[in-house]
């Protein structure tokens, strides 16, 4: 299924052909989220990335990830964002002010978008943000974040999935409900269950990596549902490949990113390598 929706990469392309992603992520205590997400995005085929992050994170980003263009949060609002091909918001943004204003500006750009972590928390605490959310926006909550978003506890996973399908249909959004066999729920309520991944991936930063992968695919002109499905599959496959070198206990999020190359190779014709 995944091989059938992977887009070919033209031999005569240059970086602008593979998209420009705007990543809004990180805070004083969570600089790593912006680094993990940005690296994963670039390792997933992205042409260019611009990162908006906390002032204290800039030096870390420049030193660990020289491929990124970096600005501070105060530089976001004057920024013309219509030049970007996708927007990824929320990873590691704990304590960042003006989240509502940030999301409203992103909404107005009418660009393919993924909301993660603190951006989902903002939707949960502000129903007006959820009401205005653009169609086919991708949300990536884990189970706890989803229950907070919908203000409802579920007795079992079947009830949760049924409610999530109706919620996605109601708001015309795509939900990546993270967990074992992550379920991607399309805006029409259709559910897709992932077959890759393992329990070693239940570790800090794993979701930041996933958000970066999906945001990268959105910037490369994948349909939002395809970006979500491929992103989840590749993320899990990278974790499975990492497990060959690590253990369930020793795996960290960086191990997932480091295996993205081998994961993508498994989707390409063998004669290329």
Give residue-wise pLDDT tens across range 24-73.
Answer: 999 999 999 999 999 999 999 999 999 999 999 999 998 999 999 999 99
Which three-class secondary structure state does DSSP give residue 53?
Answer: strand
Mean pLDDT of the chain: 96
CA distances from 54 to 27, 93, 117 (A): 5, 9, 16
Residue 14 tokens read as 């240059």
The tens digit of pLDDT for each residue in 153-202 reads: 999 999 999 999 999 999 999 999 999 999 999 999 999 999 999 999 99
Cα of first residue to Cα of last residue in the chain, in angstroms, is 22
Three-state SS at 251: coil
Instruction: Give Cβ neighbours of residue 116 (< 8 Å, ≥ 6 apart).
Output: 88, 89, 90, 91, 139, 140, 207, 208, 210, 211
Which pLDDT score, from 0 to 100, does residue 270 have?
Answer: 62
In this prediction, residues 206-219 reach a mean pLDDT of 98
Residue 169 contacts residue 189 (beta carbons within 8 Å): yes
96's torsion region: left (phi>0), alpha (psi -120 to 50) or beta? beta
- From residue 132, give the alpha-carbon distance in Å to each of 94, 105, 197: 22, 12, 33
The CA-based angle 249-255-258, given to 5 degrees, is 165
Q: What is the pLDDT of residue 268?
A: 81
Average pLDDT value for residue range 218-243? 98
Asked whether the CA dihedral 34, 62, 221, 241 is positive or negative, the reply is: negative
Q: What is the pLDDT of residue 156?
A: 95
Does residue 271 have a pLDDT over 70?
no
Model-level pTM?
Answer: 0.97
Q: Is the pLDDT of residue 269 over 90?
A: no
Q: Which residues contact 11 (CB under 8 A, 6 or more apart)?
A: none
Contact yes or no for 21/87 (Cβ under 8 A): yes
At which residue do the structure tokens 């890759």 appear?
196
Alpha-carbon distances of 142 from 51, 56, 179, 184, 268, rounded to whole Å: 24, 28, 7, 12, 30
Which pLDDT value is given to residue 168?
98
- For residue 77, is pLDDT > 60? yes
pLDDT level of residue 222 (50, 70, 90 thresholds): very high
What percent of the chain shows pLDDT beyond 90? 95
């Amino acid at each position: 299924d995944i091989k059938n929706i992977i887009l070919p990469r033209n031999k005569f392309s240059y970086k602008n052909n593979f998209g420009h992603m705007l990543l809004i992520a990180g805070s004083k205590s969570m600089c790593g989220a912006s680094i993990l997400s940005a690296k994963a995005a670039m390792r997933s085929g992205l042409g260019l990335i611009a990162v908006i992050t906390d002032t204290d994170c800039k030096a870390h980003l420049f030193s660990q990830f020289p491929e990124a263009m970096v600005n501070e949060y105060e530089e976001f609002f004057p920024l013309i964002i219509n030049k970007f091909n996708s927007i990824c918001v929320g990873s590691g943004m704990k304590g960042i002010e003006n989240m509502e204003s940030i999301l409203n500006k992103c909404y107005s750009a009418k660009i393919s978008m993924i909301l993660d972590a603190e951006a989902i928390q903002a939707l949960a605490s502000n129903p007006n943000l959820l009401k205005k959310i653009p169609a086919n926006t991708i949300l990536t909550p884990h189970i706890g974040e989803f229950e907070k978003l919908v203000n409802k506890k579920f007795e079992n996973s079947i009830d949760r999935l049924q409610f999530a399908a109706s919620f996605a249909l109601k708001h015309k959004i795509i939900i990546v409900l993270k967990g074992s066999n992550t379920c991607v729920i399309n805006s029409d309520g259709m559910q897709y269950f992932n077959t890759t991944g393992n329990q070693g991936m239940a570790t800090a930063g794993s979701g930041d990596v996933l958000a970066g992968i999906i945001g990268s695919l959105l910037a490369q002109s994948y349909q939002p549902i395809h970006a979500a499905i491929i992103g989840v599959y590749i993320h899990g496959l990278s974790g499975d490949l990492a497990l060959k070198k690590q253990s369930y206990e020793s795996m960290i999020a960086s191990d997932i990113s480091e295996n993205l190359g081998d994961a993508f190779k498994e989707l390409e014709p063998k004669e290329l390598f």
